[in-house]
Chains A and B, each alone.
Chain A
Amino acid sequence: MDYLAEGFINAFLLLIRGNEETYSAVYTTVYVSSISIIISLVLGLPLGFVLSYYEFIGKKQIRAVVDTLLGLPTVVVGLLVYAFITRRGPLGEYDLLFNKSGIIAGQTLLILPVVISLSASAIESLDERLRSTLITLGARGRKIITGTLYESRFAIMTAAAAAYGRAISEVGVSMMVGGNIKWHTRTITTAIALETGKGEFAMGIALGIVLLLIGFIVNWLLIFLRKRG
């Protein structure tokens, strides 16, 4: 059991002393996951709105597919993105493989269904009187969309937090598409996998603590924003 205690002590020393290798992985994780969540929200919120607000042929079927993709295995996404961005793939010329951009593409693909599905559920659960209220107050077109999304902001924030949590904690995409390259594409999760394999528990534990801390900060921010209303 001594190695565990020793691992914890060394983990804190790594974090306190600002170990560059540790913080490089933290930076990469926060960077790729933040870009992924921004892209997913920009694409996913309007799609979630359309999927919940309008009636069209095939709506139920599309919703079923989106809901199924919620549990998409990260390695499957990794494999799919790898196949597309490898030199022989259709997007090979863009040099995305083993780059942060590749991880961002993969993570976006992974969390987009989460944003679409949860935001659609959030909008579906809104009060049916909201639309007529917005209209009677003079809202038109884009104002109705923004007004509706704003009314469901708390549920959408929860959806965004869930999607962000999935992005920062995934390992399949980062490992397969990013290649776990030190100082470049190594993320917290790929570093933990590698360091644990090497028996270097200290860095694994330090990175694990940071991962939990990020999750805690995101949730704390969510609670703070809810309180502000």
Chain B
Amino acid sequence: MTVNSDYLYELADIEHGYGTFRLRIPSLNILRNSSVGLSGPNGSGKSTLIRLLSFLEYPEKGVVRFNGRTHGRPHVTMLQQDPYLLKRTVYDNVAYGLKAAKDTENLKQRVTEALEIVNLDHKKFIHRKWFELSGGEAKRVALASRVILKPEALLLDEPVANVDSESSIAIMKAITWMKEEHSSTIILSSHDLTWLSSITDNIWKLSGGKLAGSGTSNLIPGPWSKEREGIWYSLLPEGEKVYTHTPPDAEATAVLNPGDIILSLKKLKDISAINMLPGVVVTMSSDINAGRIRLEIESSGRIFYAYITEASASKMKLFPGKKIYLVFKATSLQWI
């Protein structure tokens, strides 16, 4: 087999699951020294994919290749969503991995450095016991235990979920340090797409165990009900309907590219687009690479992502809280 040196991970024909849940990924390649975000709702398969990528589990079908091989340890490490600290001091937690690898040269200095990377004062924390830490501090100690290993791939499952803002910033800086100073490949999952897009090069969306496109594409899950011949709809949480043409099956998930959404201040008439959803701008963030503004718009209890040029945003006088309409065609919805 030839190894493509650009790819750290190569996944092919993956099938894995528990109970009725199945994760199915026909193909996925992850570039070396990239930072990849995994996004999707609860139960979409983010954590399962991370466990497969960290070789904590092996797929029932298909293969996960790391550097062309079917195992990745000790070059891969993973930080769980709710990490477990060993019942030892902070020093012993951070030093554990190096001790296990019998790599104990300058151990104390390396532990000190690892704690500094996660912004924990080593003098204050190094002798603390596992129960003498707050939730955010414990997560940072757990991250330091992984950072010290200098892995080729660092996987993080919801790294900033349920942590204080100070810890969140420290974790984000440590992740950036690992990528920039150590050239680690970073793979992380999060519900927070805005945070994810600020720290990763690329985002993969997961829905129902399938990859549902990349970037900030909008996912519209089923069930789909028939409105009339050739026109079906999915009900949003607060009652609005999203229309499409006949879906492949009633439970199918559709992808709506943010670029296919037109934003309007007024309800448009005499247009071919069947979908016109009232919404409220929630956040606006600059997409520096593309010179445009990314909007999170709440409509009928669901968040939609859309783009607009800076000039249009200025002309429309958009700001968080402004009411607008999202307009898109039935044919804009693609099936996964």
Q: Which residues of A contact B (CB under 8 A)?
A: 127, 129-130, 132-133, 135-140, 143, 147, 151, 153, 229
| Chain A residue nearest in CB terms to B54 | A136
Task: Report yes or no: B129 in contact with A229, Cβ–Cβ below 8 A.
Answer: yes
9 A–B contacts, CB within 8 A, in A order: A129-B84, A132-B56, A133-B84, A136-B146, A138-B74, A138-B97, A153-B87, A229-B89, A229-B129
Task: Report yes or no: B83 in contact with A138, Cβ–Cβ below 8 A.
Answer: no
Known: A137-B100, A229-B129. A132 touches B80 (CB 8 A): yes
Q: How far is the CA of A221 from the CA of B79 in the complex (A)?
A: 36
B86 located at the interface, meaning its Cβ lies under 8 Å from any Cβ of chain A in the complex: yes
Task: Give chain B residues whose Cβ lies under 8 Å from the Cβ of A132.
Answer: 51, 56, 78, 80
Task: Report yes or no: B56 in contact with A136, Cβ–Cβ below 8 A.
Answer: yes
B101 located at the interface, meaning its Cβ lies under 8 Å from any Cβ of chain A in the complex: yes
Task: Report yes or no: A136 in contact with B77, Cβ–Cβ below 8 A.
Answer: yes
How many A-B residue pairs have C-beta atoms within 8 angstroms? Tell me: 50
Q: How far is the CA of A138 from the CA of B88 in the complex (A)?
A: 17
Task: Report yes or no: A137 in contact with B54, Cβ–Cβ below 8 A.
Answer: no
Q: How far is the CA of A229 from the CA of B54 in the complex (A)?
A: 31
Known: A132-B56, A229-B129. A138 touches B149 (CB 8 A): yes
Task: Report yes or no: A229 in contact with B100, Cβ–Cβ below 8 A.
Answer: no
Q: How far is the CA of A140 from the CA of B73 in the complex (A)?
A: 10
Task: Report yes or no: A151 in contact with B100, Cβ–Cβ below 8 A.
Answer: no
Known: A127-B84, A129-B84, A135-B56. 20 other contacts (CB 8 A): A129-B80, A129-B82, A129-B83, A130-B84, A130-B86, A132-B78, A133-B80, A136-B56, A137-B97, A137-B100, A137-B146, A137-B149, A138-B73, A138-B101, A139-B96, A139-B100, A143-B100, A153-B87, A229-B87, A229-B89
Task: Report yes or no: B96 in contact with A137, Cβ–Cβ below 8 A.
Answer: yes
B39 located at the interface, meaning its Cβ lies under 8 Å from any Cβ of chain A in the complex: no
Q: Is the interface of A mostly helix, strand, loop or mixed?
A: helix
Contact with A along B45-89 (1 / 0, CB 8 A): 000000100101000000000000000011001111011101111
Task: Give chain A residues whose Cβ lies under 8 Å from the Cβ of B56.
Answer: 132, 135-136
B299 located at the interface, meaning its Cβ lies under 8 Å from any Cβ of chain A in the complex: no
Task: Give chain B residues whose Cβ lies under 8 Å from the Cβ of A140.
Answer: 100
Counting from the closest, the 6 A-B pairs by CB-CB distance are: A129-B84, A137-B97, A133-B84, A138-B74, A138-B100, A138-B97
B145 located at the interface, meaning its Cβ lies under 8 Å from any Cβ of chain A in the complex: yes
| Chain B residue nearest in CB terms to A135 | B56
Task: Give chain A residues whose Cβ lies under 8 Å from the Cβ of B86.
Answer: 130, 133, 147, 151
Q: How far is the CA of A147 from the CA of B73 in the complex (A)?
A: 18
Of the listed residues B56, B73, B84, the one surrounded by the most CB atoms of chain A closer than 10 A to its CB is B84
Q: How far is the CA of A147 from the CA of B86 in the complex (A)?
A: 9
Task: Give chain B residues whose Cβ lies under 8 Å from the Cβ of A143.
Answer: 100
Q: How far is the CA of A108 from the CA of B160 in the complex (A)?
A: 51
Task: Give chain A residues whose Cβ lies under 8 Å from the Cβ of B54.
Answer: 136
Closest chain-A Cβ to B252's Cβ sits at a distance in Å of 34
Q: How far is the CA of A135 from the CA of B82 in the complex (A)?
A: 16
Contact with A along B139-154 (1 / 0, CB 8 A): 0000001100100000
Q: How far is the CA of A196 from the CA of B316 in the complex (A)?
A: 101
Closest chain-B Cβ to A47's Cβ sits at a distance in Å of 23
| Chain B residue nearest in CB terms to A128 | B84
Known: A132-B80, A229-B129. A137 touches B145 (CB 8 A): yes
Task: Give chain B residues whose Cβ lies under 8 Å from the Cβ of A133.
Answer: 80, 83-84, 86
Task: Report yes or no: A135 in contact with B84, Cβ–Cβ below 8 A.
Answer: no
Of the listed residues A127, A133, A136, the one surrounded by the most CB atoms of chain B closer than 10 A to its CB is A136
Task: Report yes or no: B80 in contact with A151, Cβ–Cβ below 8 A.
Answer: no
Task: Report yes or no: B83 in contact with A151, Cβ–Cβ below 8 A.
Answer: no
Known: A229-B87, A229-B129. A135 touches B80 (CB 8 A): no
